[in-house]
Amino acid sequence: DSTATQVPLARDKVRHVGEPIAVIVARSPYEAEDAAALVEVDIEPLEAVSDLEGGLEPDAPRIHEHLESNLAAHVIQRKGAYEEARERAHRVIKRRFWYDHGASAPMENRGIVANWDARSRELTVWDTTQAPIPIRNGLAAMLGLPQSEVRVIAPFIGGGFGPKIMMFYPEEVLLPWISMRLGRPVKWIEDRQESFFATTQERGQDHEAEIAVDEEGRILGVRDEFLSDTGAYNPYGLTISINTQCTLLGPYRVPNYHSEFRMVFTNKPIVTPVRGAGRQHGVFVMERLLDRAADELGIDRVEIRRRNYLNPEEFPHDHEIIYQDFAPLVYDSGSYAEAMDRAVEMIDYAGFDSGVRAAARAEGRHVGLGIVSYVEGTGVGPYEGARVGIEPGGRINLVTGVGTQGQGHFTSFAQIVAEQLGVGADDVEVVTGDTARFGWGTGTFASRGAVVAGNACHAAALKVRQKVLAQASAVLGAAEEDLDLADGFVRVVGGGESVSLGELAARANPLRGAVTPGTEPGLEATAYFGPERGVTASGVHAMILEVDPETAMIRILRYVVVHDCGRVINPMIVEGQIHGGVAHGIGNAFYEELVFDEGAQLQNASFMDYLLPTATDVPTIETAHVETPSPLNPLGVKGVGEAGAIPVGALFAQAIEDALDIDGFEVREIPLSPNRLFELIRDAREGG
């Protein structure tokens, strides 16, 4: 509900811990902290909502008084006729699952510097945002300035992982406003404790799900009903929950589906996407249900997945529901069984029982294997743009609107342009995230940089290539088809004649003489790319894990990722993205947990109490690529930035069950922790 929009400083009511209520401006952070202690706050404690089911009770305290309840949204998507399928089913398996998430925990917290220059009428804001252009647009609207007077720069940012795209954080409005009031620059840097409360998180979903299968383990249908925590406000609408709803279908053929969710306002910090953005929840539910179906039917867990995979001939595959961009959920391409085959081979699935497991058993150690599949809808619209230009000195400029937080865009986008212009990636100077340099676009999220911005870079480079060829053809007196671009020169193929790109750029900006009417100056072009819908990346993760049943401590012995992000632009960057994602996933699956008390107070807002995985917890990750190019964009790429994090919870659950092999022991919740796992093992042993 848009009437439940947050305002920069809480008015009348504070809805979550960390919601700002006053601003203090001082010459130093030390003075500001001291001054904060002088602010007297008279707050009457109200009853809090911290739990999803309780939040929907008719007598629950209302987070937003003017709404009828704490229900933020209720969405049903259906395909086929689930109830009918259920009646025909050989087995129906039902479970309840809980999936919690954690803090995004970037190395660099949020920070903003704002400077209003009244003389030049320019507001410059340096902001750790993933979306500088929407921030520019919003600031102009809120502060009553023309967009041309607002410049937002997203400099190098030490990690974003989703929450830095929130539009708007209170500080993003307050700092520019204060600078305009005071006529001087102001700076704010978030500290770690503030980051735990005031930066958005992604959390709680409570699923009641069932799967209907035939004797062979073929999926007849799935029914899933879930509650999703949105925190005190809901700036991101339906994104996370729809991601869950859609991603649950995974790489499988699911003829009948009933999925229903309710998003619930609570008094917890605001929920917005964090790497994976609800997708891991869906993967967890589906993979867990398939594991249970495999157990009950006595079918091997890899085999049951194979029986349900969509085949390469079935693309495009329409799932008949809509995705987070509100476009139909239609998969473009994929080769799921191929990815599974590679993973099975890499982890030596066939030899595991008699090999690694048997050897461990002989030593009294408990080792298990997990292997799960997932898909990820990536590269959603609306659009991004890029401008490519060649300077008379031969330097090549590339400017795009997306911000960058460590994804390697400077390298991969430079490569895309270099390929078209016959230069090295080093020769392309890249600028991102400065609205004064490029003012159209949305931002870096939803693993869309490569697909949307990358294809815009490609389109702009192609246009410049055309201009180069036309110019060179005139200069060298040769047909365009006979020209080749390499090493910064255009050459006549087979001949010796050549001209440098720099010289062509100089000629394209003549100081004297006539030109053919209609000629545009410069070797420069701007292009945009807006896909009709997203593209579907996919993969299989496999892991061998040792669990100590007495202490519930784990050790990951091997971790294998087989991944398909379409055509790979830069293998090293893609691997780095996968590694980072897996590390994130391991943290969320087994270490990181945000602990709230009944009053929705966060109990562990520091890295002393909130466990992040460290280098000793993250194993060597072995990767392989399957490439099914996307037919929906000229580069054939799909996204990869979130993929590593998505299936990890489901993988842990399966591997831990496999290692322990205790009757009645099932993992139905994430995150685990050594402590929680200890309790689950104890409960299973006690038959509880």
Q: Which residues bind ligand MCN (CB under 6 A)?
A: 159-162, 275, 405-409, 412, 444-451, 454, 565-570, 573-574, 577, 580, 637-642
Taking the least distance from each CB to ligand MCN, the nearer of 158 and 664 is 158
> Rounded to an integer, what distance in angstroms lies between the CA atom of residue 292 and that of residue 212?
11
Q: Which residue has the tokens 């008390």?
A: 597
Q: Report the candidate in 570, 396, 575 with the shortest Cα–Cα distance to residue 485.
A: 396
What is the enclosing helix (H) or strand (E) of 188? strand 186-189
Taking the least distance from each CB to ligand MCN, the nearer of 52 and 640 is 640
Taking the least distance from each CB to ligand MCN, the nearer of 250 and 454 is 454
Taking the least distance from each CB to ligand MCN, the nearer of 392 and 576 is 576
Residues 261, 267, 270, 271, CA torsion sign:
negative
In whole angstroms, the minimum distance from the beta carbon of 342 to ligand MCN comes to: 17
Cis previous bond, 106, omega within 30: no
Q: Report the candidate in 235, 329, 236, 347 with the shortest Cα–Cα distance to residue 282.
A: 329
Taking the least distance from each CB to ligand MCN, the nearer of 315 and 678 is 315
In whole angstroms, the minimum distance from the beta carbon of 640 to ligand MCN comes to: 4
Taking the least distance from each CB to ligand MCN, the nearer of 324 and 444 is 444
Q: Report the candidate in 504, 408, 489 with the shortest Cα–Cα distance to residue 449.
A: 408
> Rounded to an integer, what distance in angstroms lies between the CA atom of residue 105 and that of residue 608?
13
> Rounded to an integer, what distance in angstroms lies between the CA atom of residue 229 and that of residue 56?
11
E strands within 515-637? 523-529, 535-547, 554-564, 621-625
Taking the least distance from each CB to ligand MCN, the nearer of 110 and 638 is 638
In whole angstroms, the minimum distance from the beta carbon of 584 to ligand MCN comes to: 8
In whole angstroms, the minimum distance from the beta carbon of 566 to ligand MCN comes to: 5
Taking the least distance from each CB to ligand MCN, the nearer of 112 and 490 is 112
Taking the least distance from each CB to ligand MCN, the nearer of 55 and 160 is 160
In whole angstroms, the minimum distance from the beta carbon of 447 to ligand MCN comes to: 4
Taking the least distance from each CB to ligand MCN, the nearer of 250 and 644 is 644
Q: Which residues contact residue 567 at a Cβ distance below 8 angstroms, ignoring those fewer than 6 apart?
A: 627, 629, 630, 635, 636, 637
In whole angstroms, the minimum distance from the beta carbon of 343 to ligand MCN comes to: 19
Q: Report the candidate in 559, 527, 533, 532 with the shortest Cα–Cα distance to residue 546.
A: 559
In whole angstroms, the minimum distance from the beta carbon of 131 to ligand MCN comes to: 11
Taking the least distance from each CB to ligand MCN, the nearer of 176 and 534 is 534
Residue 79, strand partner residues: 257
- To the nearest 10°, report the CA torsion of 297, 299, 303, 307: -30
Taking the least distance from each CB to ligand MCN, the nearer of 154 and 660 is 154
Backbone angles phi, psi at 221, to 5 degrees: 180, 165
> Rounded to an integer, what distance in angstroms lies between the CA atom of residue 275 and that of residue 641?
8
In whole angstroms, the minimum distance from the beta carbon of 86 to ligand MCN comes to: 36
Quote the tokens at residue 592: 């990181």
> Rounded to an integer, what distance in angstroms lies between the CA atom of residue 364 and that of residue 382?
55
Q: Report the candidate in 189, 556, 215, 580 with the shortest Cα–Cα distance to residue 407.
A: 580
Q: Rounded to whole angstroms, what are the CA distances from 440 to 402, 477, 526? A: 9, 38, 11
Q: Coil, strand or helix: which one is 114?
A: strand
> Rounded to an integer, what distance in angstroms lies between the CA atom of residue 171 and that of residue 241?
27
In whole angstroms, the minimum distance from the beta carbon of 621 to ligand MCN comes to: 15
Backbone angles phi, psi at 440, to 5 degrees: -120, 135
Taking the least distance from each CB to ligand MCN, the nearer of 414 and 472 is 414
In whole angstroms, the minimum distance from the beta carbon of 379 to ligand MCN comes to: 7
In whole angstroms, the minimum distance from the beta carbon of 240 to ligand MCN comes to: 13
DSSP class of residue 395 equals -
In whole angstroms, the minimum distance from the beta carbon of 416 to ligand MCN comes to: 8
Pairing of strands 186-189, 111-117: antiparallel
171 with 250: CB under 8 angstroms? no
In whole angstroms, the minimum distance from the beta carbon of 395 to ligand MCN comes to: 22
What is the enclosing helix (H) or strand (E) of 75? strand 71-79
